[in-house]
């Protein structure tokens, strides 16, 4: 039986979402509670993922880390999508000076590497997830803007679009009837790619302790904390690594086009 990559990726993502958001309903462990007598205890039937170097239960801790990464990445992608699509639609429809101004803003955001831009904003307000959200959103919106603008430029001059305009249909109707059907499939792919990029950015910045600080559970930050115990308790370091790998591979599978 041939496996469907997109369905496999979706199933994997649903399982990770279930673990991240449904576990607190059934497991009432505190991801911040320390029990030093349980330091580096391996997984067992009573504690499925064991305890970290401070005696914190890894089961709720890994769940909280996934919630943070997923929630922050989703917020960044939604903000970037709304901003980029709105800017792309306005730029394509009206052109002229508005198009040049928005294009200049996009070029300004691309003038610096993405992570460097986020680091600069995080340096302005250390320990601020809001700056992390703003920086990642500023990096991601440009792709939505460029693709939206390029996709719509050819459609605006199409006979169907021109006929709707001459017949007096509202801009909202013209967008829903002519522009959105061509834009939606492209935006879905970009949104998945941006979601993957945002998760990687949050984890990379957490790994260097930017934006999120201990004791907040976050995948990249957990890797940094557990790295000194890699030889003594390798199962601990593997947990955030595997969680991040599964999260990214699920999103990449959903972006993959099915072959014949």
Domains of the chain: 71-255 (1.10.3720.10)
**pLDDT tens by residue, 117-145:** 777 777 776 667 778 888 889 889 999 99
Q: What is the pTM of this model?
A: 0.87
> What is the 3-class SS of the chain, one letter each residue?
CCCCHHHHHHHHHHHHHHHHHHHHHHCCCCCCCCCHHHCCCCCCCCCCCCECCCCCEHHHHHHHHHHHHHHHHHHHHHHHHHHHHHHHHHHHHHCHHHHHHHHHHHHHHHCCCHHHHHHHHHHHCCCCHHHHHHHHHHHHHHHHHHHHHHHHHHHHCCHHHHHHHHCCCCHHHHHHHHHHHHHHHHHHHHHHHHHHHHHHHHHHHHHCCCCCCCCCCCHHHHHHHHHHHCCCCHHHHHHHHHHHHHHHHHHHHHHCCCCC
Per-residue pLDDT of 246-258, as tens digits, reads 999 999 998 876 5
Low-confidence stretches of the chain (pLDDT beneath 70): 1-3, 125-127, 161, 164, 166, 168-169, 171, 257-260
**Predicted local distance difference test score (pLDDT) of residue 47:** 87
């Amino acid at each position: 039986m041939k496996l469907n990559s997109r369905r496999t990726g979706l199933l994997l993502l649903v399982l990770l979402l279930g673990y991240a958001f449904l576990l607190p309903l059934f497991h009432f462990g505190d991801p911040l509670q320390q029990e030093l007598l349980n330091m580096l205890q391996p997984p067992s039937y009573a504690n499925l993922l064991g305890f970290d170097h401070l005696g914190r239960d890894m089961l709720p801790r890994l769940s909280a880390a996934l919630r943070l990464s997923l929630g922050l990445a989703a917020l960044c992608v939604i903000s970037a999508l709304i901003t980029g699509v709105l800017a792309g639609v306005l730029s394509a429809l009206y052109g002229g000076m508005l198009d040049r101004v928005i294009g200049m803003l996009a070029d300004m955001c691309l003038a610096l590497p993405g992570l460097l831009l986020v680091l600069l904003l995080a340096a302005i307000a250390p320990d601020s997830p809001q700056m992390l959200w703003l920086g990642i959103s500023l990096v991601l919106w440009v792709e939505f803007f460029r693709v939206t603008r390029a996709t719509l430029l050819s459609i605006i001059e199409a006979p169907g679009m021109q006929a709707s305009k001459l017949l007096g249909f509202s801009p909202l109707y013209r967008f829903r009837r002519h522009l959105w059907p061509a834009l939606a499939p492209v935006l879905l792919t970009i949104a998945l790619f941006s979601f993957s990029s945002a998760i990687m950015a949050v984890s990379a910045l957490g790994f260097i302790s930017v934006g999120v600080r201990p004791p907040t559970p976050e995948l990249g930050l957990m890797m940094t904390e557990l790295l000194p115990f890699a030889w003594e308790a390798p199962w601990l370091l593997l947990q955030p690594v595997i969680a991040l790998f599964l999260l990214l591979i699920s999103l990449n599978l959903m972006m993959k086009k099915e072959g014949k």
